[in-house]
Chain A
Amino acid sequence: MLRPRSKLESNRLGVAMIMPALILMLLLLIYPLIQGISYSFTSYRFNRPNATAFIGFSNYVDIITSDHKFYSTLGFTFLNALGAVLISYAAGFAIALLLNKKLHGRGLFRAVILLPWVISSSVTATNWQWMLNDRHGIVNAFLEKIGAVEDPVLFLANPTLAKFTVIIVGAWKCLPFMTVVILAGLQSISPDLYEAASIDGAGFWRSLKNITLPGIRGVTTMCTTLQFIWNFNNFENIYLLTSGGPNESTFTLPIYIYFTAFARNKIAYASAMAVLVMVIMMVFALIRFRLQRNAEE
């Protein structure tokens, strides 16, 4: 049936269909990426472009051997991503369990849960700043009214608390995704399994442990690894909320790179850090791939 000529002809159509997208990506994404990687081997600074020289791996050596801030920032980037994922997974799981019941207005509940996900970080960040404001915010007003605190809590101005706040807001942003994806996972579990378990006398917790959790194992792996990578790589959320402050206490790697490149003009050094982040991300992607394959088996 496959005549060589018609196959060749149709393949030509396929290549033609892909071309616009391919050319756009090569020009606008791949070319800049290669340029970014090549910056990292130079001494390029935005304010002194003429003094640029090829310096090999010097930037990388500097970062790895003597940049303490890189390591401490890496630590918080990791902690932030992990914390946000754990909190949002636990909360998302609980909400998904509730939504999985046969309730009226389930679609409406799901829509309202989705809100934080479809709204820009510029909006959500300012909303949180307003809510957590020390003089006019409703959170402090509430805490003072019930007598939990005497002075306003400085959620964003106290370095230790700010870290905590940033993680909570990150979890809040991931929550819609977690809830909807886990709910989809729950709905794929056959109700017969629960019925059989309840006939065998299994209670809520035993069904949860023996049916629900194994049933959504694949979904769990997928959504936690995906959100971990997303949080690790995210810039806007924290930058708009705290600008990395106070006192750089909520610096994550994307914010550190941003300031190094655009405030201190060290384009080459920042690019080298971005390449290192890419390497870390590739390791994560590899782990994710492995985990997902295991979950599928």
Chain B
Amino acid sequence: MQTRSSGLLSRRAKHRIGKLFAYLALFIIIFVVDLPLISMVGTAFKNQDAVLSTTSLFPQLGDWALQNFIDVFQKTSFGMNIVNSAIVSILATVFCVIIAAMAGYGLSRFRGKFFTGYSVLLLLMQMFPLMLLLIPMFMLYSSYGMVNNLSSLVIYYTASNLAFNIMMIRSFFDSLPRELEEAAKVDGCSGFVAFLRIIFPISLPGLITVSILTFLNSWNEYTFASLLLRKPDIQTLTVGLTKFVQQSDTNWGYLMAASTIAVLPALLFLAFAQKYLVQGLTAGAVKG
């Protein structure tokens, strides 16, 4: 008995040490992984001289300054860029999720050659390389005079997120029992009303997941926006950010302050809707 209990104790101690080690390792890993972002925030709060003259991660105590943030809004068109990004991302998300929810419902509840063919098309759509789409899209948009026009971005983000969203929403609908609508139909609802009144509200968690992903995709997109938007006050924030670098000498203070603002929506989603984000990430992985 004696030896056994001491063995148990030492095992518990070992367990404790193991846990302590795990915490330590995780803190170090997280520090290293997030270092680019930590240094971004630290630099953003330095004053203009300190940005280039000090290499500390954060400003000296008492030297924290908001000047970079104020300047970015007062001296550059970055404020306008944020407004543009917000408009484009919100509109694209609303359009895309509504259209995808309808199509997802169609795929989930109906069978036939038409629906099978459409599913195959959705799968194929995700295999095309971006560049094969980008070149003709650019030619098309410029021949219709849609350069420097935010609505062309809304259209593109709506379309480009559709395939993925339809497949995800479809899998949410698949998990809902058909009896729900059957009951509504017995009560005299038409098919579409049953969808609107019954299915749409229950699948809200799924729709939130898809909305967050679509919003972030649109908010973060750079390539297409940079090709299509040439005027500074019509550009979105990802394009606006790169403008800080392209000037012969980069104003790192401005750049880091603007970048810090640019990541705020992502941080908010991560803080308050992590569950949905992780769900989207893993579900997307299985579907994609």
A-to-B contact residues, CB < 8 Å: 9-11, 13-18, 20-22, 24-25, 28-29, 32-33, 35-37, 39, 46, 95, 98-99, 101, 103, 107, 109-124, 126-131, 133, 135-138, 141, 172, 175-177, 180-181, 184, 222-223, 226, 233, 235-236, 239-240, 253-254, 257-258, 261-262, 267, 270-271, 273-275, 277-278, 281-282, 285
Give Cα distance in the complex from A41 to B124, angstroms: 22
One of B1-9, B61-69, B112-120 contacting the partner: B112-120
Cβ of B259: which chain A residues have Cβ within 8 Å of it?
122-123, 126-127
Give Cα distance in the complex from A39 to B136, angstroms: 8
Q: Are A116 and B286 in contact (CB under 8 A)?
A: no
Picked from A98, A120, A233, the residue with its CB within 8 Å of the CB of B130 is: A233
Q: A118-B270, A136-B55 are in contact. Are A99 and B26 (CB under 8 A)?
A: yes
Cβ of B114: which chain A residues have Cβ within 8 Å of it?
15, 18
Q: Are A13 and B192 in contact (CB under 8 A)?
A: yes
B265-285 residues at the A interface, CB under 8 angstroms = 266, 269-271, 274, 277-278, 281-282, 285
Minimum Cβ distance to chain A for residue B143 (Å): 10
Does B188 belong to the interface (CB within 8 Å)? Answer: no
Q: Are A22 and B118 in contact (CB under 8 A)?
A: yes
B-to-A contact residues, CB < 8 Å: 18-19, 22-23, 25-26, 29-30, 33-37, 39-40, 43, 51-52, 55, 57, 99-100, 102-103, 105-107, 109-110, 112, 114-115, 118, 121, 125, 127-140, 155-156, 158-160, 162-163, 166, 191-192, 195, 216, 219-223, 227, 237-239, 241-242, 244-245, 252, 255-256, 259, 262-263, 266, 269-271, 274, 277-278, 281-282, 285-286, 288
Query: Which residue of chain A has its CB nearest to the CB of B281?
Result: A180
Q: Are B133 and A111 in contact (CB under 8 A)?
A: no
Picked from B137, B140, B270, the residue with its CB within 8 Å of the CB of A114 is: B270
Q: Are B131 and A281 in contact (CB under 8 A)?
A: no
Cβ of B103: which chain A residues have Cβ within 8 Å of it?
17-18, 20-22
Q: A235-B131, A262-B227, A271-B135 are in contact. Are A10 and B191 (CB under 8 A)?
A: yes
Give Cα distance in the complex from A237 to B124, angstroms: 24
